[in-house]
Amino acid sequence: MSRGQDRILWYIGAFFLLAVGMLAMRLWGGGAASPEDAAMVGEPAPVFSLPIVAGEGADDGERVSLEALRGEVVVLDFWASWCRPCQYSVPVMNRVHERYGDRAHVYGLNVEENASLGVVREGYRQFQMGFPSLRDEGGVAQSGYAVTSIPTVVIVGRDGAVHWVHRGVPDEDELAEQIEGALTRD
């Protein structure tokens, strides 16, 4: 190989590593809010009524309506069964669910429109989720909350407005701090 070809291969390799690094940062999240996230905070949370497909309430065909939860703090965790970073966020979300109990309602929101219900439920089981998960029928919630990467965690305050948006695996202390803030706001 000539020196010029070596240099080209080096540039291609460096570009590839940079692209992989940027993708990993996007998936794992650094918590940096995008302009869309910042613009959403304080705005009315997009409403939905979605079925519980895994966890408590799934066997009864229950649905969760965000409008019906007005006056409550709601934590939404957007996930998919193929998403490894989502699997790493589940223990954090499980502990938050246990810590806040009925004071903050924690729900998973599965975004896999084309996956069978069996695939979604198997992902829920494998991830060992301890909170109910909804199915985002037609991508209505994903679109409404401008979810472009997963996991994405959204806190909706008692006033029905978006309180906080985080892309990537959340830091448990920061998430708890944001939930506490939402709980103390009127």
Look over the chain and give the mean of its residue pLDDT values, rounded to a whole number.
Answer: 85
Return all residues near 152 (Cβ < 8 A) that are at least 6 apart.
77, 78, 145, 165, 166, 167, 168
Q: Are 147 and 116 in contact (CB under 8 A)?
A: no
- pLDDT of residue 31 exceeding 80, the answer is no
**Structure confidence by residue, pLDDT tens digits, 91-148:** 999 999 999 998 999 999 999 999 999 999 999 999 999 999 999 989 999 999 999 9
- Determine the Cα–Cα distance for residues 170 and 86; give it in Å rounded to an integer: 10
The three-state secondary structure class of 129 is coil
What's the count of helices (H) and strands (E) in the chain, helices before strands?
6, 7
Which DSSP category does 61 fall into?
T
Q: What integer pLDDT is reported at residue 61 of this predicted model?
A: 79
- pLDDT of residue 30 exceeding 70, the answer is no
Cα angle vertex 108, ends 123, 90, to 5°? 65
